[in-house]
Structure 1
């Protein structure tokens, strides 16, 4: 065989496709199975929560009208003549959440803008972990901080009208806002840092200042991530228990004045779920009814969040 023939034969051999069955990759199969199990566990947990809530909730609404529950203005499920109007708990939850967002959104977005646009790499490496430490403090510590420090401080410096009561929604909301600042700041900073540098460079090339680039380029481009961070912060504020249980009081109060004591839905669940209610009683079932309402509210907020994120999402190539 000549050299040319051997070269041609070698080329054909090199370019031929092997018909052998590839060796099975057991490691990839194990990883795929583990990831599927993790996803399945999350779904199963959600389904388990729904099943655990739905049965006592249906039994509760077999005895109490849904309309009375959602529109009633008095909440006294454990009295001799019980009242099951959940509006006081809804209003208390709303007031505390609004106060928390008034504190958390400006501070969180301000911190995110500073870390993303103004801080040097060295400053960012120091400040961001320190900021995120706030998220690791136990919430019961925040609650006692609100009760023993923030409330007396507000009472001392209050200048208009009556000072806040010993238990009040204002101090609970302020401290809850401080607690969720890391959520807003960290996620918003990640979204701002993900904005392509070319967009910012284009703004600077046109003579824009850092403030103009931050507000007119970075912020709009990162809006979907910022919206997701805010909605996540709202969900955490709505679901917080220990701060409101310790600092906001345990009085269902249909009032929009944050200086007064209030009870939120989570605070009621925490107070009523300590084991004093006989299993199967109407007082016991109220825990699940309020929990189901809280679950629905959180589900709706997450659905709205997904729509907003999709609406404001920017895709870069």
Structure 2
């Protein structure tokens, strides 16, 4: 890479120098000297880097494994040939600026296509493995079944091997998604009001000094590892919930789903608060001044003008938090356990889809067993749910979006 960079520096100086020399002799050039300098660099870099990346892909896929020295020498040779052709092409009529613009446009398009193809590859990799699972398990049973008992691997991993029954394998995903939606609902019921009210305070009521302190402190929550949140949920929040439940005469499990839901909501607060704060601050000041001129109070302005104008951004922040909660694993593992349980009581233990995916892929069964392939089926359904949420977010934002001149 250093050799290619050095060759590119030489090409840039030669190309710019050739253009400057032509201009000094009174010849009118189409583009600027720097653009003529970059022109041979592009001619040098594209074939050199293209060959190196191609050899790397062939090596990764196992087609061919050339020596690094050979790849380096051929890349430098290709770069030198391209550099020579680029330097020879520098003439007064050469439109170097247009050529560079086209190259940059193709590079940006390639970057976008890489993202698109990566997404397609992820979907296809999940879809093909899920289809293998659905050849052995009915889709209807998977979607509507209320018992998730794929075998003894999960139970033994959880230290409950005595509960294993011979010949029992059920793949009903309803308890898993019930736990996922339960913990997500609790998390958003915690995060949305606190995050939105924090954003309103920081943007409408806080002084610059208070905002400078409160905003960084809130954003610190986003940098805490999820395993730390899991410890906090299991060691601190769960005993408090159990004690409160006992005070009111309720029976609460030490692996209840309420504890990770609350802690997950605390983790999501910075996402809601930061995005909502940015949206509220982007609302034109003229709307506030117009509301004040009509005689409204500060609180009425917030309720009748600011929040309706910020609604698209708040919806986006909310759905981003939902997607974050749907994919969380560590907090649920540490505080709620792994038992699939279909219940409406948040004081009982439940588990989520992501936890089951982790346990199915970390067991000791063969990769092509239904217990392992069930992870891909769960991932496919979870991906579909998040995709529907993203589509809903796009629709709602467009539905409520307002333009301010």
| TM-score w.r.t. length of structure 1 | 0.90
1:310 corresponds to: 398
Q: How do residues 151-162 of structure 1 correspond to structure 2 at under 5 angstroms?
A: 151-158=238-245, 159-162=247-250
2:160 corresponds to: none
Structure 1 residues 281, 153: CA separation in 2 closer, same or farther (over 3 Å shift)?
A: same
Per-residue deviation, 1:27? 5.7
Cα distance in 2, alignment partners of residues 306 and 35 from structure 1: 24
2:197 corresponds to: 110
Q: How do residues 162-241 of structure 1 correspond to structure 2 at under 5 angstroms?
A: 162-241=250-329
Q: Write the deviation string for residues 46-100 of structure 1: whole angstroms up to 9, x where unpaired.
A: 1111111011100111111111111111000124320011000011111111111
Is 1:271 aligned to 2:359, yes or no?
A: yes
Q: Write the deviation string for residues 230-273 of structure 1: whole angstroms up to 9, x where unpaired.
A: 01111111111111111111100000111111010011112222
2:224 corresponds to: 137
Structure 1: 5+ residue runs without aligned partners? 1-18
Per-residue deviation, 1:186? 0.8
Per-residue deviation, 1:227? 0.5
Higher relative contact order structure (alpha carbons within 8 Å, sequence separation ≥ 6):
1
Cα distance in 1, alignment partners of residues 111 and 321 from structure 2: 25
Structure 2: 5+ residue runs without aligned partners? 1-91, 153-166
2:120 corresponds to: 47
- Structure 2 SS opposite 1:279: coil
Cα distance in 1, alignment partners of residues 273 and 105 from structure 2: 34
Q: Contact (CA 8 Å) 1:151, 1:164: kept in 2 or not?
A: no
CA RMSD of aligned residues (A): 1.9
Per-residue deviation, 1:35? 3.0
Q: Write the deviation string for residues 91-126 of structure 1: whole angstroms up to 9, x where unpaired.
A: 111111111111011101100111111112232232
1:58 corresponds to: 131
Q: Contact (CA 8 Å) 1:115, 1:124: kept in 2 or not?
A: yes
Cα distance in 1, alignment partners of residues 237 and 168 from structure 2: 37
| TM-score w.r.t. length of structure 2 | 0.71
- Structure 1 SS opposite 2:135: helix
Q: 1:87 aligns with which of 174, 181, 189?
A: 174
Is 1:128 aligned to 2:128, yes or no?
A: no
1:5 corresponds to: none
Q: Which has the larger radius of gyration?
A: 2
Cα distance in 2, alignment partners of residues 27 and 160 from structure 1: 72
2:376 corresponds to: 288
Cα distance in 2, alignment partners of residues 145 and 37 from structure 1: 44
Q: Contact (CA 8 Å) 1:245, 1:270: kept in 2 or not?
A: no
